[in-house]
Amino acid sequence: MRLSHRTLDLAIICDDHWDVVFNQIGLGFWELSLPTGILRSSTSFKKNFGYPADGVLTYETILGLILPEDLDRVQDDIELTISNEQRIYHSIYRIRRPDGEIRWIRADGIMSQPDGESLKLIGTTMDVTDLKK
């Protein structure tokens, strides 16, 4: 089976056993290529945002799900991390899933540039709605 680069999930990086574990605990993984803007994500990441495993999520789609009153702060946190003004990206914000449900998401990330690869922001997400209640 051949996957296109645009729909490639991080399942290629994590083996199937880890995917099962991460889905059970709701820990989603993501990787944003800074030169291309391409977002790659795990099944559990998509689930956190209310999308099916085969759903295609772009960086712009994710930003569009974040509630307007939280969006500027999230984008500021991302920019501070990309510019190396802060070492770790950490943000807790609200999203409106495609079904209309509002959920709280915790996102964490770091900058990464493995040898020979382009600069990227990599991290995790977790739905923390139950903790916020």
Domain boundaries, the chain: 5-132
Q: Which of 42-51, 90-99, 103-112, 114-123 has the lowest mean pLDDT?
A: 114-123
Residue with tokens 């199937």: 16
Instruction: Give the confidence band of 124 by pLDDT, cuts at 50, 70, 90.
Output: very high
Instruction: Give the confidence band of 17 by pLDDT, cuts at 50, 70, 90.
Output: low
How far apart (Å, rounded) are the C-alpha atoms in residues 94 and 82?
A: 22
The secondary structure element, H or E, covering residue 105 is strand 102-112
For 117, other C-beta atoms within 10 Å of its C-beta total 9
Predicted pLDDT at 7: 47
Amino acid letter for position 27: L
For residue 71, count CB atoms less than 10 angstroms from its CB and return exposed for 0-12, middle for 13-18, buried for 19 or more. middle
* Contact between 46 and 53 (Cβ < 8 Å): yes
Question: Beta 27-33 vs 120-127: how paired, if at all?
Answer: antiparallel
How far apart (Å, rounded) are the C-alpha atoms in residues 18 and 104?
A: 24
Predicted pLDDT at 71: 97
The domain made up of 5-132 has a fold known as Beta-Lactamase (3.30.450)
Looking at every residue in the chain, the average pLDDT score rounds to 85
Predicted pLDDT at 1: 45
